[in-house]
Homo-oligomer: A and B are copies of this chain.
Amino acid sequence: MTQNKSDIPSYPHRDLLGIEGLSPIEISFLLDRSEAFVEHNRQQTSKKLDTLYGRTVVNLFFENSTRTRTSFELAAKRLGADVINMTVESSSIKKGETLIDTAMTLNAMHPDVLVVRHSESGAVKLLSEKVNCAVISGGDGSHEHPTQALLDALTIRRRRGDLAALTVAICGDVVHSRVARSNIHLLNTMGAQVRLIAPKTLLPTKIETMGATVYNNMEEGLKDCDIVMMLRLQKERMQSNFFPSTREYFHFFGLTYEKLANTKPDALIMHPGPMNRGVEIDSEVADDYGRSVIREQVEMGVAVRMACLETMCPIGNDDKGASES
C-alpha cells in the first residue's frame, strides 16, 4: 500500500485470484483506484509514474494471450516497475509438480508481483499458495478472470454512474467462460440483475444457483436490459460440437441490430475480445461506437491493472504480504 492510502478503506487481501468473495467495498476500492488512472493514461505527456519503481512484476503465462499480457505489461511499466515475461508452453510442462516447481523457482528470485494465467481452473490459486509474493490472476481455465470483470464494471460505472439498478445480459458461450463467471460474481455483489442467454449446450448445469436468470432465446433475454455483454465463442476450448455450425449460431445467438431492438434504446454493447465477427456479433454492431464500448473496455483494462498492481504490490516496511502467506 502506498503511504497516502492509510485513510482510505484498505484492500485486505494479498492476492487477486477471483471476484468471488470480494465485498462491495473492496470492489469499489479497486474501481476508485482505477478511475484515477483513466485520465492519467489519456494525457499526451509522459504517462510514467514511479509508484512501483524498482519493483519486479513477472507475467507468468501458461496460456498465450497477447492482449492480456500486453495490458498488464503496459500497466506495470506505467507504474515504473520492471516487467519480466515468461510464457511457458503447456506442451513443455508436466502438470501439477512442475507448476509448483515453477512457482518455487520464481519465488526464490524474489519478485514483487506474479501475474499468472493458466489453462486449468484452480491452477493460479494452487500456485499462489506456494509463493510469498502477491499473485494476480490473469485468468484460469473456465474459473475466473477477475481483472476483466473489474474493467467491465469500470466501463459500465463510468457510463451509467452506478451498477446497482442495472440489468445485464451475458450472452453466448457461458460454459467455457471465466469472463462470465467473474462478471456474475461482481454484478451480483454490486446489486445488478444478471441474465444469461445461451443455447443449453453452452450453459453449465445449475448455473442459476450463481444468481442469474437463464434464457435460451436472445429476444426474450435481451428485453429491456441495460447492458449486453457478448462472450467470445471459445472454439479452442470445445471438446465436442456444441452446435451445428457457426452460421446457425450467428442466426440464433449472434448480436444483430434486429435482436438489439429488444433492449433499452441506449443499452451498451460489450465484448471482452478478441471478437469472432460474424459469429457471436455482427461486425456493424461491434463498430457502432454510439453504443459499443468495446474500445473503452480495452482502455479501462490498463487502468484497472494499474490499480490492481499498485494495490497488491507491498511497499516499504509493510510486511502484510509475508505475514499472510
In the complex, how many angstroms separate the beta carbon of A273 from the nearest chain B beta carbon?
6
Give the interface size bracket for A toward B. 35 or more
Closest chain B residue to A74 by CB distance? Answer: B109
Closest chain B residue to A56 by CB distance? Answer: B74
Query: A245 near B: Cβ within 8 Å?
Result: no
Cα distance A77–B41 in the bound complex, in angstroms: 20
Cα distance A301–B277 in the bound complex, in angstroms: 39
Contact assessment for A277 and B97 in the assembled complex, using a CB-CB cutoff below 8 Å: yes
In the complex, how many angstroms separate the beta carbon of A56 from the nearest chain B beta carbon?
6
Contacting B at CB under 8 A, from A55-78, are 55-56, 58, 66-67, 70-71, 73-74, 77-78
In the complex, how many angstroms separate the beta carbon of A118 from the nearest chain B beta carbon?
15
Contact assessment for A109 and B77 in the assembled complex, using a CB-CB cutoff below 8 Å: no
Do A48 and B82 contact each other (CB < 8 Å), given the known contacts A109-B302, A302-B109? yes
Cα distance A86–B70 in the bound complex, in angstroms: 8
Question: CB-CB contacts of A276-312 with B at 8 A, as 1s and 0s?
Answer: 0100000100000000000110110110000000000
Contact assessment for B44 and A54 in the assembled complex, using a CB-CB cutoff below 8 Å: no
Of the listed stretches A161-169, A209-217, A247-255, A316-324, name the one at the interface; the rest are far from the partner chain: A316-324
Contact assessment for B109 and A70 in the assembled complex, using a CB-CB cutoff below 8 Å: yes
Query: A21 near B: Cβ within 8 Å?
Result: no
In the complex, how many angstroms separate the beta carbon of A308 from the nearest chain B beta carbon?
16
Q: Which residues of B contact A317 (CB under 8 A)?
A: 44-45
Closest chain B residue to A97 by CB distance? Answer: B277
Q: Which residues of B contact A107 (CB under 8 A)?
A: 295
Contact assessment for B42 and A101 in the assembled complex, using a CB-CB cutoff below 8 Å: no
Contact assessment for A53 and B44 in the assembled complex, using a CB-CB cutoff below 8 Å: no
Contacting B at CB under 8 A, from A93-141, are 97-98, 101, 104-111
Contact assessment for B108 and A296 in the assembled complex, using a CB-CB cutoff below 8 Å: yes
Cα distance A274–B98 in the bound complex, in angstroms: 8
Contact assessment for B101 and A274 in the assembled complex, using a CB-CB cutoff below 8 Å: yes
Contact assessment for A322 and B44 in the assembled complex, using a CB-CB cutoff below 8 Å: yes
In the complex, how many angstroms separate the beta carbon of A170 from the nearest chain B beta carbon?
21
Contact assessment for A110 and B77 in the assembled complex, using a CB-CB cutoff below 8 Å: no
Query: A47 near B: Cβ within 8 Å?
Result: yes
Contact assessment for B74 and A86 in the assembled complex, using a CB-CB cutoff below 8 Å: no
Query: A261 near B: Cβ within 8 Å?
Result: no
Q: Which residues of A contact B (CB under 8 A)?
A: 41-42, 44-48, 53-56, 58, 66-67, 70-71, 73-74, 77-78, 82, 84, 86, 88, 97-98, 101, 104-111, 273-275, 277, 283, 295-296, 298-299, 301-302, 314-319, 322
